């Protein structure tokens, strides 16, 4: 397992590389300075953890690949994730005015521009995945599979359906199974796709890909459980957004069903299962192991 210092250095290095490539992609695919481009960059560079693209790269490395094998997919995943946040924050959805400590896209640029910026980020993600330009998937035979993995996770069988179910569930009691299903779609699907993309593009074996998918399912669930806990007892200054919103919107959450302490224990069991899924991997998977522990201990 990586020590805390080495892991912090790993995260910082990967964030820097990812953000550098994201900006280069924006300049390559959108060379003209427009209000749309400004809104897209504003949202992309708003200070996120870059957890999904880092997971993509770390998964590729765990099976013997490199960050170059996964970089196009990692950036595409981050664009899809950012688009989802821009749209989730809209008045018609969650109506949030703060994201990562900054005014949300629609507050700064207006609703129409925010909608279009989200649309543009989503479609640009798939252009990156299928492009033969400088930021392309190295093995072009894998392009259709990469597109399929991301589309499945982002579309009506994944994240979008999860958002629909999340909105419909406001003020409605959900049992634990229903809550797991909702968040497997809304949060888990893109996390799972991030890991699967890295594993596939890093040329992992079928067995390795299956174990990494099991790892991703468990960290995705733990991520959401901790998210729910932070909405109860997190520090808004650290999180960069309001807390207590789940209670105000009368959402079913893990703390509302299990209590905070039992929810934290449940997240810990998920992380144990995730780490067990990596038991057959060598030290190249240490960044993934460290990410799992980080998810359990995170404060934002």
Please report the domains of the chain, with CATH numbers, ordered by start residue: 4-297 (1.10.600.10)
Mean pLDDT of the chain: 93
Average pLDDT over residues 21-31: 95
Q: Which value, to the nearest 10 degrees, does the dihedral of the CA atoms of residues 84, 87, 93, 95 take?
A: 110
Q: CB–CB of 191/223 below 8 Å?
A: yes
List, for residues 242-276, the tens digit of each pLDDT value.
677 888 888 889 999 999 999 999 999 999 999 99
Per-residue pLDDT, 240? 63
* Tens-digit pLDDT profile for residues 105-137: 999 999 999 999 999 999 999 999 998 877 789
Residues 6+ apart with CB under 8 A from 176: 257, 258
Pairing of strands 102-103, 98-99: antiparallel
pLDDT score, position 274: 98
Least confident of 36-40, 214-218, 231-235, 284-288: 231-235
Q: Which of 28-32, 57-61, 170-174 has the highest mean pLDDT?
A: 57-61
Whether pLDDT at 148 is above 70: yes
* pLDDT reading at 210 higher than 90: yes
pLDDT in tens, 65-98: 999 999 999 999 999 999 999 999 999 998 999 8
Judge contact between 62 and 209, C-beta under 8 A: no
Would you state the pLDDT for residue 247?
84
CA atoms in the 13 A half-sphere facing the CB of 136: 12
Centre a 10 Å sphere on the Cβ of residue 13 and count the other Cβ atoms it contains: 12
């Amino acid at each position: 397992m990586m020590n805390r210092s080495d892991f912090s250095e790993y995260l910082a290095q990967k964030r820097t590389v990812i953000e550098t490539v994201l900006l280069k992609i924006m300049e390559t695919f959108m060379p003209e300075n427009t209000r749309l481009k400004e809104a897209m960059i504003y949202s992309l560079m708003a200070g996120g953890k870059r957890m999904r693209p880092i997971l993509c790269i770390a998964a590729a490395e765990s099976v013997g690949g490199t960050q170059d094998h996964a970089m196009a997919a990692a950036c595409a995943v981050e664009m899809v994730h950012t688009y989802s946040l821009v749209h989730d924050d809209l008045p018609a959805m969650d109506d949030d005015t703060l994201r990562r400590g900054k005014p949300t896209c629609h507050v700064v640029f207006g609703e129409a521009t925010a909608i279009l910026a989200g649309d543009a980020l989503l479609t640009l993600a798939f252009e990156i995945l299928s492009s033969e330009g400088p930021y392309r998937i190295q093995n072009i035979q894998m392009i259709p599979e990469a597109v399929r993995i991301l589309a499945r996770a982002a579309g009506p069988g994944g994240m979008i359906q999860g958002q629909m179910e999340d909105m419909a569930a406001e003020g409605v009691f959900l049992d634990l199974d229903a809550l797991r299903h909702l968040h497997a779609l809304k949060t888990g699907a893109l996390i799972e796709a991030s890991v699967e993309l890295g594993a596939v593009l890093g040329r992992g074996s079928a067995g390795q890909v299956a174990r990494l998918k099991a790892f991703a399912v468990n960290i995705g669930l733990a991520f959401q459980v901790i998210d729910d806990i932070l909405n109860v007892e997190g520090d808004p200054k650290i999180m960069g957004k309001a807390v207590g919103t789940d209670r105000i919107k009368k959402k079913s959450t893990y703390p509302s069903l299990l209590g905070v302490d039992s929810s934290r224990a449940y997240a810990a069991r998920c992380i144990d299962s995730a780490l067990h899924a990596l038991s057959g991997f060598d030290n190249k998977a240490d960044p993934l192991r460290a990410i799992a522990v980080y998810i359990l201990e995170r404060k934002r």
